[in-house]
Amino acid sequence: MRKLLNTLYVTTPEAYLSKDGLNVVVSVDQKETFRIPIINIEGIVTFGYMGASPGLMKLCTDNGVSLTFLSPHGRFVSRVQGATKGNVLLRTTQYRLAEDKTYALRLSRLFVGGKIQNYRSILRRFIRDYGENAEVESVANMLEWRKRAVLRADDFDKLRGIEGDAANAYFSVFPHLILHQKSDFTFTGRNRRPPKDAINAMLSFAYTLMANDVAAAMETVGLDPYVGFLHTLRPGRTSLALDVMEELRAYLGDRFVLSLINRKQINIKDFLSQGEEGIAMTDNGRKAFLTAWQARKREMIVHPYLEEKIPIGLLPYVQATLLARYLRGDIDDYPVFLIR
């Protein structure tokens, strides 16, 4: 099993990245503030527009380290990608199967079905831990029917329609899952570009980090993250990464955000209003979020298909590996990740 390494998050907008030998160097106002050997990290995410030297970019691509640029408020800007590597036969198979509408629909049903099942698992766990709640129970039951309908969907329009209904129902009872700081963290539904409240700001931020991790995992196993089965092709969009993210959103993103609020690891003072630009995290809020995110990735779980202990941070890599094995025909079906 691959070793889980750290991701370097550079949260100072004025920071500039460069290399010194085999070290990543972070400088602010031309003064070095931090350095780390490239072999100790698997990814760099930097918030700001100062950028990185060409030498640092080459160091990252030579060592398989992803380099992602986000705006100071966490919106995706770009990701540096080196020469295409991996198994060309696997990618050729991926491209061929992505054009097969029957195959693509079948795989897409699994992605969406896994997503809805994990939504339901979160609601059922809440009921189990905190007692009956009529609204949550009703939505949990509805999600079971939506999952079954997804697995029977015979075209993409029906599939996406059912997915949208399931997501709207799930997020309609999301406020019930907030146990503390209820008056500060209000939520009336999913919104984005820009997020209008603190919960949506955190969900969007978590999904951005996840998309980067999943795309990097796809490239690691030799898949093309830009050619998906569920999400349509669009220049610059990592469609395959977004496909696999569907099954991971609830577990890696939603549960994490709820945990931050309910454990009071973050509070409303960690956010600021930007008028028409919505709500954004402060520097302190982002640091608290990322510190907890890194700790979460180090937690161990038993993977439901492999039945082996793995760090949570390796879930994108494991699912990418299983998807590659399925596309090659090494396994009979793609085992989506389901919350136990």
Residue at which a domain ends, from 64, 80, 96: 80
Could you tell me if 142 and 289 lie in one domain? yes
Would you say 71 and 205 are in contact if contact means Cβ atoms under 8 Å apart? Answer: no
The number of domains in the chain is 2
pTM for this prediction: 0.86
Residue 340 located in a structural domain: no
User: Which tens digits make up the pLDDT trace of 103-146?
Assistant: 999 999 999 999 999 999 999 999 998 888 899 999 999 999 99
- pLDDT more than 70, % of the chain: 96
pLDDT of residue 83: 66
**CATH number of the domain to which 174 belongs:** 1.20.120.920
Residue 233 located in a structural domain: yes
Residue at which a domain ends, from 26, 60, 80: 80
Distance, in Å, from the CA atom of 215 to the CA atom of 223, rounded to the nearest integer, reads 9
Residue at which a domain ends, from 50, 80, 110: 80
Distance, in Å, from the CA atom of 216 to the CA atom of 224, rounded to the nearest integer, reads 10
User: Which tens digits make up the pLDDT trace of 65-100?
Assistant: 888 888 776 777 777 776 666 678 899 999 999 999
Would you say 23 and 36 are in contact if contact means Cβ atoms under 8 Å apart? Answer: yes
Q: Check residues 257 and 280 and name the one with the higher pLDDT.
A: 257
Please give the residue range of the domain that contains residue 66: 6-80
